Chain A
Amino acid sequence: MTDLVLAIETSCDETAAAVVDGRRILSSIVASQAELHSVYGGVVPEVAARHHLTTVNAVVDEALREAGVSLNDIARIAVTRRPGLIGALLVGVATAKALAYATGKDLVMVDHLHGHIAAVWLEPLALDAPFVALTASGGHTRIDLVEDYAAPQLLGQTLDDAAGEAIDKGARLLGIPYPGGPGLEQLAREGDSSAFDFPVGLRGRGPGLDFSYAGVKTALLYVVRDLGEEGTAARRADLAASYQEAIVRPLADRLLRAAEIHGMPAISIGGGVAANGRLRQLVEEGASARGLRVAIPDRSLCTDNAAMIGAAAAFTPAIPWPHYVGEDAIATAPPGGIAA
């Protein structure tokens, strides 16, 4: 017996569709708009929404084709309902509702953050609860206690900027084009991470699991200004390495601390920032030093994708046909962060 789920994700700047069969990914197609937005230096919501509309049906077709199944074989359709850019979300939600309605299938409306956390449920990682999950991206930075995949509990989150936002802003100050993550990481590899002492978010402010990234980008701004154009150019690699360290080290530290506080045997990472090599290294080393199991997804499952939405759909109640016809996309996250 199969339980095929067709999943659609359009919350930001990736148009994605996937077919999952339980924990198995049969296909995962991502049409990235990153290049389209790079001329604006960031994601432009109207541009994203326009592109999703002209792309989503072909991406769905491709996901079905690569999985070797037809829409008739699909048991349920899943879609990202929240949070995200409303115009972008609406394209995916309208598409998924129409596909499900026309074929008499049930619809699962998934929380995007739930998707990031559930990505490690998929094979080959196939991590079972309980564990502690770090989710870090351009829009979110949080740690959840996952005793049950259906109901992650928020342990800590950023009090201001998201980690990915800080990375993008810092990269821009160093003249790295959007999206800045990969470029910053590459530059940082040639630099000394202890060359500059950037404030690590909420350092020395007690044992909490929250984050703060507003200070670090301001600190970089001042250093770049003091060094001047030539000075900055000469120290770019050191600046990149030190800045990256100030962002990813607190992520790894608090994740490990959360596991310790709650006596969890395993940890996971997810979200676009989890594609960062230095973060992956710190988490891996920290976990092995403490004897924790660690789930570090393939980079393609860290950045936005639809397979993770298919995974979260396994833990989200389906809305039976046709009761979802009036359901809507929602831009914001609910109180507590994740809607199950």
Chain B
Amino acid sequence: MITFALDTATPTPSLALVGDDGVIAELWLGRVPGGGRRVLEAAHHLLGACGVVPGDLSQIVVGVGPGGFTGIRIGIATALGLGQALGIPVHGASSLEALALGASVACREGELIAPVIDARRREVFAGAYAPDAEGGLRQVIAPAAWDPAAFSLALGKAGPAVLAGDGALLVPAGLAARMAPDGTVQRVSAAQLVARVAQVGPLPVLPSYLRLPDAEEKRLERLAAEAPA
């Protein structure tokens, strides 16, 4: 049984092949031009390097975000297209939780892990989780699009925490939060998506945008302004 996993929610896409005995291979793209748009090309090379053909795959796990809207869509469209053609199941997993799972090794006893993805426009997609003894995560702050200062404040109330991810530096240092130490994996890992599905089961394969389209936000603001007080 071979699982193909992919995540294109961040500027550093990740792909993995996971077998019954664990990770067969994992591939990360750096901040290459095109980013997630190259995910199928990367998948072709990953499969080729492992001597795997598409027909060998038994399921697909895809990161549903949060992150870049276009990236999330390319990942999901690719996963669903492969699944549709191969007749195999496609499962969703949270990109933010995969980031948390990989970085939680940096947590000391009692510390939360706070995964933070740069959401642009001076916002971050972030949440907080308490690692447990079995290597699992319990959600403490639900993933959302945050103003970095507001997130720092909320995190301060939740307890001591380790910040990790490409948005971590955007969050003002609170009293209780520290940066993940050097050497901690601070990127979304496709292999961790598979691990997360094993822990909590799959999510529906629906994008987790955590933000409305601008036009919809403006429309709702207009409706609210027009509504009788």
Of A112-120, A176-184, A226-234, A320-328, the one contacting chain B is A320-328
**Contact between A57 and B80 (Cβ–Cβ < 8 Å)?**
yes
Interchain CA distance A247-B58 in the complex, whole Å:
56
Contact residue among B40, B80, B214 (Cβ-Cβ distance under 8 Å from A101) = B40
* B residues in contact with A87, CB < 8 Å: 69-70, 73
**Contact between A98 and B38 (Cβ–Cβ < 8 Å)?**
no
Smallest CB–CB gap between A91 and chain B, Å?
Answer: 5
12 contacts between A and B (CB under 8 A): A46-B214, A47-B215, A47-B216, A57-B80, A86-B70, A94-B39, A98-B84, A101-B40, A101-B85, A103-B85, A325-B40, A328-B37
Contact residue among A40, A50, A99, A325 (Cβ-Cβ distance under 8 Å from B41) = A325
Q: Given A47-B215, A53-B77, A56-B77, output 6 extra A-B contacts at Cβ < 8 Å.
A: A44-B215, A57-B80, A57-B81, A94-B81, A97-B81, A325-B41
* A residues in contact with B41, CB < 8 Å: 325-326
Residues of A bordering B, CB below 8 Å: 39-40, 44, 46-47, 49-50, 53-54, 56-57, 60-61, 71, 86-87, 90-91, 94-99, 101-104, 322, 325-326, 328-329
**Contact between B82 and A102 (Cβ–Cβ < 8 Å)?**
yes
- Whether B122 sits at the interface, judged by CB under 8 Å, is no
**Contact between A46 and B206 (Cβ–Cβ < 8 Å)?**
no
Residue interface bits B71-82, CB-to-A below 8 A is 1, else 0: 001101111111
**Contact between B73 and A53 (Cβ–Cβ < 8 Å)?**
yes
Contact residue among B69, B78, B84, B86 (Cβ-Cβ distance under 8 Å from A97) = B78
**Contact between B78 and A98 (Cβ–Cβ < 8 Å)?**
yes
Residue interface bits B176-190, CB-to-A below 8 A is 1, else 0: 000000000000000
* A residues in contact with B70, CB < 8 Å: 49, 86-87, 90
Smallest CB–CB gap between A98 and chain B, Å?
Answer: 3
**Contact between A98 and B73 (Cβ–Cβ < 8 Å)?**
no
Interchain CA distance A101-B78 in the complex, whole Å:
10
Interchain CA distance A98-B37 in the complex, whole Å:
12
Residue interface bits B50-69, CB-to-A below 8 A is 1, else 0: 00001000000000000001
- Whether B213 sits at the interface, judged by CB under 8 Å, is yes
Known: A97-B40, A98-B78, A101-B40. Contact between A49 and B73, CB under 8 A? yes
Smallest CB–CB gap between B145 and chain A, Å?
Answer: 15
Interchain CA distance A266-B154 in the complex, whole Å:
70
| Chain B interface bracket (under 10, 10 to 19, 20 to 34, 35 or more) | 20 to 34
Contact residue among A47, A49, A328 (Cβ-Cβ distance under 8 Å from B34) = A328
Residues of B bordering A, CB below 8 Å: 34, 37-41, 43-44, 54, 69-70, 73-74, 76-82, 84-86, 206-207, 209, 213-216, 219
**Contact between B69 and A46 (Cβ–Cβ < 8 Å)?**
yes
**Contact between A94 and B215 (Cβ–Cβ < 8 Å)?**
no
Known: A90-B70, A101-B44, A102-B54. Contact between A50 and B213, CB under 8 A? yes
What is the count of residue pairs linking A and B with beta-carbon distances less than 8 angstroms? 98
**Contact between A99 and B34 (Cβ–Cβ < 8 Å)?**
no
**Contact between B84 and A99 (Cβ–Cβ < 8 Å)?**
yes
* A residues in contact with B43, CB < 8 Å: 325
Smallest CB–CB gap between B27 and chain A, Å?
Answer: 14
Interchain CA distance A61-B85 in the complex, whole Å:
10
**Contact between B37 and A90 (Cβ–Cβ < 8 Å)?**
yes
* B residues in contact with A329, CB < 8 Å: 37
Contact residue among B38, B73, B213 (Cβ-Cβ distance under 8 Å from A91) = B73
Interchain CA distance A56-B76 in the complex, whole Å:
11
Smallest CB–CB gap between A136 and chain B, Å?
Answer: 26
Smallest CB–CB gap between B177 and chain A, Å?
Answer: 32
7 pairs of A and B residues whose beta carbons are closest in the complex: A98-B81, A102-B85, A94-B77, A46-B213, A326-B41, A44-B215, A325-B41
* B residues in contact with A103, CB < 8 Å: 85
Indicate the member of B43, B209, B216 with the most A CB atoms within 10 Å: B216
**Contact between A90 and B74 (Cβ–Cβ < 8 Å)?**
yes
Interchain CA distance A47-B44 in the complex, whole Å:
30
